[in-house]
């Protein structure tokens, strides 16, 4: 009885359908537990959380140097930056803009350093819907390989103040 | 049996025969009323939000939207639920243990502090002093009273936990019951243990943040540290809700159908798994965070989360199985006769069973899937996340608590619920609204629509973004959200009407079921019978749980398939 105290000897092993279900549920939980390590070794998508502490001002300066070294154009008032294929790229979230616009090569792996100048931001790459968290003070290294050409928007999906909803950015992928 | 209550300070419930401590009764009433007031604020905010995210209406401007969503989150997820839980703790430790309340002074301190916290936080948010979302991630900064209000509220809740444990202590000391505590009290105890653990995390994270907002600390707490500790509070507190909700399921299953658990051992072990293994599941908020490694993320989401998932899957079987067996005991046959002939017109039963189904099929499946380390990449901070927790906390916990109120108001307040037809359909209105909304959120989120965003226009952004494909799904969010909020408001009106203007019941409550059903239910509750007897096997529940498992597997593997299609990343 749920609302009265149980019979004197209530400690007993489950039996019948109840035992069957517990067994099946436990097996399913083991499948769930095995799936993540399996994907870690066999799959191509994971979040390693690679990060280095960095002062927001210093990261900002690093981004400025990166822009200066590899700027190839301008668009919507933002620099378009093309790092040498397979190298490090930098992106900073500043209330309320992802800066700069990146130009990458299809099929090449980049180490994308993402950090924030001010608040926490959410790096959300569309339309693939790939999402990573960005925290000021941490240089979050996301190692990714664009597999299709085109223009891919970045939006911010962590609340970062009054202009959160207009915080966008762009990654251009070319052959 | 011996009781430690003075005759002048108790009464016997004329419906259930349970003893009611008048001191505990006062605090059940006070906390329940404060809970419903919070729900009223939260549901009003919900309508504004739903009509904003519905693109064709777009009611609020962004700044107001951010303010209202902060208000909504805090009132729904913190105030409504914790006030109701304080009411449940007062009930489960007194009436079910035949004991008096431990300390009126502690209960008063609990209630007054929580009420003060509720007032301060809502003032702060409404006055535009704390538009920081419920999570208040640093270095976003609210005015200092916002953090102080939350701390006061949390300390109040902690005192409520102490009073609950105190009541358990005096009941045992005074031998007011024999043997083990009842299952519902056991569930409440599990909730209390998790609550204490949780509130300590809240204190660790909010106190330095408060000092910083006062200017006593120069730098904000580290953002990554804040997230880890905050979620030890923010997610673990949802496990208090799960425990309380499951305890309410067992309670309402008994009250509405006479059900009794097949195995006390199994049910109690499942509660124990919640206590032992849930806190680490807070890690699934950090699955795409910097600074925590892949192995840390996998370990903390798999070994620990899945034993808590096992616990939920066990309750998901034992609760409907106990109802099925009780129905079979009444002589109802067939595979699903126990469901088709269930007391669907009893809002206590309807709310409880809908809560069970919505929590299991909706919340459970999405929760485990989104909390899978790699799958989280295509879910984090999108609308899929609120799509998940609205079917756990709203469609699950809130709905169960509403069902509970349809019994608490006549039994504890001794007031009759007015407009009984409306009360009978209210759980369905709320449940349908929540489901439409959550499905809309999940679909929109799958297209990348972010949570905590007023619209998908990006008007004024330097780089234009087009998420227009999601508009129909956001319309579902708007329509479903409005229906659900109306359902919640109907509940508030019924509850307030009953409590303040309702007819007092002198004898037993007016039953929600037919006299014949009522008599049978009472008979099942009061007489001895063994739910494991031959001929009453819960075959229908087995079929339902296998359908559940199949749905789970389909959704889970479909998400892995979706993950294959995105760019390689590590």
Task: Give the gyration radius of chain B's Cα atoms.
Answer: 23
- The DSSP element (H or E) to which A150 belongs, if any, is strand A150-156
Task: Give the gyration radius of chain A's Cα atoms.
Answer: 24
The SS3 assignment for B292 reads coil
Looking at residue A1, what is its pLDDT? Answer: 58
Query: Which residues, in sequence order, are CB contacts of B200 under 8 Å at separation 6+?
Result: none
Q: How do residues B403-418 score in pLDDT, each as one tens digit?
A: 999 999 999 999 999 9
- Report the C-alpha gap between A156 and A167 in whole angstroms: 6
Residues of A in contact with B459 (CB under 8 A): 166
Residues of A in contact with B560 (CB under 8 A): 35, 39
Contact B254 A143 (CB under 8 A): no
Long-range contacts of B548-555 (CB under 8 A, 24+ apart): B548/B316, B548/B360, B548/B361, B549/A24, B549/A25, B549/A28, B551/B361, B551/B365, B552/A28, B552/B364, B552/B365, B552/B368, B553/A28, B555/B365, B555/B366, B555/B369
Residues of A in contact with B140 (CB under 8 A): 119-120, 159-161
Task: Select from A6, A109, A129 the Cβ nearest to the Cβ of B447.
Answer: A129
* Gap from B26 CA to chain A (nearest CA, Å): 21
Q: State pTM to two decimals.
A: 0.96
Chain B contact for A57, CB < 8 A? no
Looking at residue A116, what is its pLDDT? Answer: 98
Q: How do residues B161-179 score in pLDDT, each as one tens digit?
A: 999 999 999 999 999 998 8
- Report the C-alpha gap between B202 and B208 in whole angstroms: 11
**A-B Cβ pairs (cutoff 8 Å, strict):** 317
Residues of B in contact with A167 (CB under 8 A): 461
Contact B549 A51 (CB under 8 A): no
Return the ∠ at Cα B360 (arms to B355 and B361), rounded to 5°.
105
**Does the pLDDT at position B301 exceed 90?**
no
Q: What percent of chain B has pLDDT over 70?
A: 99
Chain B contact for A172, CB < 8 A? no
Q: How do residues B127-158 score in pLDDT, each as one tens digit?
A: 999 999 999 999 999 999 999 999 999 999 99
Residues of B in contact with A14 (CB under 8 A): 262-263, 265-266
- Report the C-alpha gap between A174 and A72 in whole angstroms: 14
Looking at residue B568, what is its pLDDT? Answer: 97
Chain A contact for B225, CB < 8 A? no
Average pLDDT, chain B: 95
Q: Say what the alpha-carbon torsion angle B414, B419, B420, B423 is, to the nearest 10 degrees.
A: -90
Chain A contact for B560, CB < 8 A? yes
- Report the C-alpha gap between B404 and B416 in whole angstroms: 14
Q: How do residues B196-219 score in pLDDT, each as one tens digit?
A: 989 989 999 999 999 999 999 999
Question: What ipTM does this complex have?
Answer: 0.96
Q: What is the largest CA-CA distance in chain B?
A: 74
Residues of B in contact with A109 (CB under 8 A): 568
Higher pLDDT, B47 or B528: B47
The SS3 assignment for B352 reads helix
**Residue of A20, A40, A47 for testing the chain B interface, max B β-carbons within 10 Å:** A47
Looking at residue B1, what is its pLDDT? Answer: 59
- Report the C-alpha gap between B78 and B71 in whole angstroms: 10
Looking at residue B28, what is its pLDDT? Answer: 97
Contact B448 A155 (CB under 8 A): yes
Cis, peptide link before residue A100, omega less than 30° from 0: yes
Q: Are A133 and A106 in contact (CB under 8 A)?
A: no
How far CA B423 is from CA of A74, B53, B242, B460, B494, in Å, comes to: 62, 29, 24, 46, 7
Q: How do residues B217-228 score in pLDDT, each as one tens digit?
A: 999 999 999 999
Looking at residue A14, what is its pLDDT? Answer: 87
Mean pLDDT for the stretch of residues B507-513: 93
Buried b (16+ CB within 10 A) or exposed e, B527-558: eeeebeeeebbbbbbbebbeebbeebeeebee
- The DSSP element (H or E) to which A112 belongs, if any, is strand A110-116
Q: How do residues B69-79 score in pLDDT, each as one tens digit?
A: 999 999 999 99
Pick the CATH number of A51-174 from 3.40.190.10, 3.10.20.740, 2.60.40.420, 1.10.540.10: 2.60.40.420
Chain A contact for B227, CB < 8 A? yes
Contact B374 A36 (CB under 8 A): yes
Q: What percent of chain A has pLDDT over 70?
A: 99
**Does the pLDDT at position B283 exceed 90?**
no
Q: How do residues A75-133 score in pLDDT, each as one tens digit?
A: 999 999 999 999 999 999 999 999 999 999 999 999 999 999 999 999 999 999 999 99
* Gap from A4 CA to chain B (nearest CA, Å): 5
Return the ∠ at Cα B145 (arms to B143 and B149), rounded to 5°.
135
Q: What percent of chain A has pLDDT over 90?
A: 91
Q: How do residues B358-368 score in pLDDT, each as one tens digit?
A: 999 999 999 99
Confidence category of residue B481, pLDDT binned at 50, 70, 90: very high
Q: How do residues A4-53 score in pLDDT, each as one tens digit?
A: 878 777 888 888 899 999 999 999 999 999 999 999 999 999 999 999 99
Pairing of strands A130-134, A101-105: unpaired
* Gap from A75 CA to chain B (nearest CA, Å): 9
Three-state DSSP string of B424-450: HHHHHHHHHHHHHHHHHHHHHHHCCCE
Contact A142 B569 (CB under 8 A): yes
Looking at residue A11, what is its pLDDT? Answer: 81
- Report the C-alpha gap between B353 and B249 in whole angstroms: 8
* Gap from A164 CA to chain B (nearest CA, Å): 8
Nearest Cα to B132, choosing from B49, B220, B124? B124
Domain boundaries, chain A: 51-174
Among chain B residues, the shortest Cα distance to A140 is held by B290
- Report the C-alpha gap between A144 and A108 in whole angstroms: 8
The SS3 assignment for A168 reads strand
Query: Which residues, in sequence order, are CB contacts of B301 under 8 Å at separation 6+?
Result: A36, B281, B283, B284, B287, B371, B372, B373
**Does the pLDDT at position B514 exceed 80?**
yes
Chain A contact for B67, CB < 8 A? no
Domains (range + CATH), chain B: 21-457+464-521+535-564 (1.20.210.10)
- Report the C-alpha gap between B87 and B80 in whole angstroms: 11
Beta bridge partners of A102: A81, A171
B 352-391 residues inside an 8 A Cβ radius of A: 368, 372-374, 376-382
Query: The tokens of A105 are what?
Result: 């090569």
The SS3 assignment for A33 reads helix
Looking at residue A5, what is its pLDDT? Answer: 79
Nearest Cα to B41, choosing from B76, B67, B87, B82? B76
Q: Are B281 and B235 in contact (CB under 8 A)?
A: yes
Query: The tokens of B353 are what?
Result: 């069973």
Q: Where are the alpha helices (DSSP H) in A55-148?
A: 56-70
Q: How do residues B316-330 score in pLDDT, each as one tens digit?
A: 999 999 999 999 999
Mean pLDDT for the stretch of residues B241-251: 94
Nearest Cα to B164, choosing from B251, B268, B272, B91? B91
Confidence category of residue B523, pLDDT binned at 50, 70, 90: very high
Looking at residue B305, what is its pLDDT? Answer: 67
Q: Are B520 and B258 in contact (CB under 8 A)?
A: yes
Q: Are A32 and B368 in contact (CB under 8 A)?
A: yes
Nearest Cα to A167, choosing from A159, B227, A129? A159
> φ, ψ for residue B341 (rounded to 5)?
-105, 25
Mean pLDDT for the stretch of residues B224-237: 92
A 74-113 residues inside an 8 A Cβ radius of B: 76-78, 97-98, 101, 109
């Amino acid at each position: 009885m749920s609302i009265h105290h149980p019979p004197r000897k209530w400690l007993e092993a489950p039996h019948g359908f109840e035992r069957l279900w517990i067994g099946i549920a436990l097996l399913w939980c083991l499948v769930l537990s095995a799936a993540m390590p399996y994907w870690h070794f066999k799959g191509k998508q994971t979040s390693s959380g690679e990060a280095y502490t960095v002062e927001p001002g210093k990261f900002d300066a690093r981004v400025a140097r990166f822009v200066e070294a590899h700027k190839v154009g301008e668009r919507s008032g933002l620099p378009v930056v093309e790092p040498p294929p397979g190298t490090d790229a930098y992106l900073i979230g500043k209330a309320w803009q992802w800066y700069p616009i990146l130009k990458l090569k299809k099929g090449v792996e980049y180490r994308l350093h993402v950090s924030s100048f001010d608040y926490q931001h959410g790096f959300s790459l569309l339309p693939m819907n790939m999402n990573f968290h960005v925290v000021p003070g941490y240089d979050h290294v996301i190692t990714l390989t664009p597999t299709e050409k085109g223009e891919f928007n970045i939006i911010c999906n962590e609340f970062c103040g009054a202009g959160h909803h207009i915080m966008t950015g762009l990654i251009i992928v070319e052959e | 049996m011996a009781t430690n209550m003075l005759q002048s300070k108790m009464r016997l419930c004329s419906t259930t025969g349970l003893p009611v401590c008048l001191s505990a009764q006062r605090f059940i009433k006070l906390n329940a009323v404060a809970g419903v007031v919070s729900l009223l604020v939260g549901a009003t905010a919900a309508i504004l939000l739903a009509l904003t995210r519905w693109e064709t209406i777009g009611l609020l401007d962004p700044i107001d939207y951010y303010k209202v969503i902060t208000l909504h989150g805090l009132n729904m997820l913190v105030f409504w639920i914790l006030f109701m839980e304080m009411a449940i703790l007062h009930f489960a430790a007194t009436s079910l243990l035949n004991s008096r309340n431990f300390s009126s002074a502690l209960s008063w301190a609990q209630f007054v502090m929580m009420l003060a916290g509720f007032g301060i936080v809502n003032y702060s948010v409404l006055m535009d002093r704390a538009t920081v979302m419920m999570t208040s991630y640093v270095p976003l900064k609210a005015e200092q009273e916002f953090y102080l209000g939350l701390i006061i509220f949390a300390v109040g809740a902690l005192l409520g936990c102490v009073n609950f444990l105190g009541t358990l202590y005096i009941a045992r000391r005074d031998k007011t019951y024999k043997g083990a505590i009842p299952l519902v009290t056991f569930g409440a105890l599990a909730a209390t243990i998790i609550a204490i653990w949780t509130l300590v995390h809240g204190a660790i994270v909010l106190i330095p943040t408060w000092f910083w907002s006062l200017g006593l600390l120069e730098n904000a707490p580290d953002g990554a540290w804040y997230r880890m500790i905050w979620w030890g509070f923010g997610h673990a507190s949802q496990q208090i809700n799960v425990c309380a909700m499951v305890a309410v399921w067992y309670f309402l299953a008994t009250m509405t159908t006479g059900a009794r658990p097949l195995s006390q051992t199994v049910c109690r072990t499942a509660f124990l798994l919640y206590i032992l293994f849930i806190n680490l599941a807070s890690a699934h908020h950090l699955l795409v965070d910097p600074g925590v490694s892949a192995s840390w993320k996998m370990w903390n989401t798999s070994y620990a989360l899945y034993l808590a998932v096992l616990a939920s899957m066990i309750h998901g079987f034992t609760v409907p199985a106990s109802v099925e067996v009780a129905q079979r005991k009444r002589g109802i046959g067939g595979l699903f006769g126990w469901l088709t002939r269930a007391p669907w017109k009893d809002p206590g039963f309807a709310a409880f069973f809908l809560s069970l189904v919505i929590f299991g099929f909706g919340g459970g499946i999405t929760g485990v899937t989104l909390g899978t380390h790699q799958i989280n990449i295509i879910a984090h901070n999108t609308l899929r996340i609120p799509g998940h927790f609205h079917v756990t906390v709203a469609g699950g916990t809130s709905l169960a608590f509403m069902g509970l109120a349809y019994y608490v108001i006549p039994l504890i307040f001794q007031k009759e619920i007015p407009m009984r037809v409306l009360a009978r359909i209210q759980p369905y209105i709320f449940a349908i609204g929540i489901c439409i909304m959550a499905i809309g959120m999940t679909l929109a989120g799958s297209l990348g629509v972010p949570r905590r965003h007023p619209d998908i226009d990006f008007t004024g952004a330097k780089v234009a973004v087009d998420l227009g494909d999601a508009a129909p799904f956001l319309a579902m969010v708007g329509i479903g959200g409005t229906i659900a909020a109306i359902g919640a408001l109907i509940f508030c009106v019924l509850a307030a009407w009953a409590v303040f203007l309702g007819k007092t019941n002198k004898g037993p409550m007016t039953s929600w079921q037919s006299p014949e059903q009522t008599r049978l239910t009472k008979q099942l509750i009061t007489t001895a019978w063994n739910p494991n007897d031959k001929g009453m096997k819960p075959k229908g529940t087995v079929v339902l749980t296998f359908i559940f498992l199949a749905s789970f597997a389909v959704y889970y593997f479909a998400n892995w398939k979706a993950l294959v299609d995105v760019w390689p990343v590590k």
